[in-house]
Every structure is written in structure tokens, then in C-alpha cells.
């Protein structure tokens, strides 16, 4: 008695057709997502803190694709604190939004982030600004970041690396959001390559 003929992908192997010929070399590669992360620090060696955070972010599930310049930025909210060093990075990742949030939180914790004063001084602050064109609203995560559209220290670095990226909730480009912003806090580019 002969076994039944296989169907689907198995049938292609049965006929001797290599899977790579049909799917290309990326068959086993996980689906990747494009996300933008905001980085900030205003304690200690701020540039070193941002570099450390980047090196901790990068791994098998996440690649840094683009990095904005470094910006020296005036505090927003809690004004009685040192100025920040801020940047935005574009990443390619196989992590889900929740997994990416947990990765960012683990790095903040590892680097000594103190959450006692929500808008106070911090060694490192990592925020998911956008993730593909998703709109996420859970008790622990909001994407796009709920205040990114009204913060110059986010939009100016983001404009540098993705001027035409679209805010999935407001349906406006980064360029358009920056034109509409009421925030007038100082944002000064200090270093292109870091």
C-alpha cells in the first residue's frame, strides 16, 4: 500500500523543488517591524548613558537602523532639573510592542532609572514613539506615544531621520506635527555622529 501524496509545501519537497527556490533565502526569518524609540538622559555622562542604552537594546531581535543627532534639550514639565540629552532611533525588530516595552524597561532598570519622580531627573529614559502603523491602547502601553506630538525634543530628532513618517492616530507626518506644535522649549543639536 502506498502512502497518500503530500499536499502544499510537503508536495514541493516530494517533487524535489527546494523551498528556497520558492520563498527566497528569508524563509526562516521572522517578520520584522519598524519602530522609533526616543532616548533621553539628564544625569551623569548623558552621551555615554545614551550609547550604553543603544548597546543594550541591540541584539538578535533588534537592529538599530538610523540614529538622529544628539540634542541638548530644555526640560519640559518639571523645570527645576538639568537639561537633557535626547535622540531618536529607528529600529527593526522581531519583538512585539509589549516585548519591546519590556526590553526598554529592563534597560532603564539595569541603568538605575528612578521612577519616584515621574518627570524628574533620570539616568535613562526609553520610550516607544511609533511601531509600524499600529495604534495600541492598553493599561500599560500607548502607541503612538501619547505626548510625542506636542514635544519638540521628540519631533525634531524624529524629523531628521523620518520626516514623512505618519502618526497613526493623528494621520499627520512628523513634518506636519512639528508645524502645529505649541511647545517652544529649546532644542539644540550638539553632535551629528555619536
Residues acting as catalytic residues:
113, 122, 125, 127
Helix (H) or strand (E) holding 107: helix 97-110
Question: Position of cell 519602530?
Answer: 35
Q: CB-hemisphere CA count at 13 Å for 78?
A: 10
Centre a 10 Å sphere on the Cβ of residue 76 and count the other Cβ atoms it contains: 16
Q: Dihedral (C-alpha) 144, 148, 150, 152: value to the nearest 10 degrees? A: -150
C-alpha grid cell for residue 47?
A: 552621551
φ, ψ for residue 11 (rounded to 5)? Answer: -60, -35
What are the residues facing 62 on neighbouring strands? 59, 93
Amino acid at each position: 500500500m502506498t502512502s497518500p501524496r503530500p499536499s502544499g509545501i510537503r508536495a514541493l519537497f516530494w517533487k524535489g523543488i527546494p523551498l528556497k527556490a520558492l520563498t527566497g533565502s528569508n524563509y526562516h526569518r521572522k517578520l520584522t517591524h519598524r519602530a522609533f524609540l526616543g532616548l533621553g538622559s539628564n544625569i551623569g555622562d548623558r552621551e555615554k548613558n545614551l550609547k550604553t542604552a543603544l548597546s543594550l537594546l541591540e541584539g538578535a531581535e533588534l537592529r538599530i537602523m538610523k540614529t538622529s543627532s544628539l540634542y541638548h534639550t530644555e526640560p519640559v514639565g518639571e523645570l527645576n532639573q538639568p537639561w537633557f540629552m535626547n535622540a531618536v532611533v529607528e529600529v527593526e525588530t522581531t519583538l512585539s510592542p509589549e516585548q519591546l516595552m519590556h526590553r526598554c524597561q529592563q534597560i532603564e532598570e539595569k541603568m538605575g532609572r528612578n521612577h519616584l519622580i515621574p518627570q524628574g531627573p533620570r539616568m535613562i529614559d526609553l520610550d516607544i514613539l511609533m511601531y509600524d502603523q499600529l495604534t495600541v491602547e492598553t493599561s500599560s502601553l500607548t502607541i503612538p506615544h501619547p505626548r510625542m506630538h506636542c514635544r519638540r525634543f521628540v519631533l525634531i530628532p524624529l524629523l531628521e531621520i523620518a520626516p514623512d513618517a505618519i502618526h497613526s492616530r493623528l494621520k499627520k507626518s512628523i513634518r506636519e506635527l512639528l508645524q502645529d506644535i505649541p511647545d517652544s522649549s529649546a532644542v539644540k543639536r550638539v553632535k551629528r555622529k555619536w
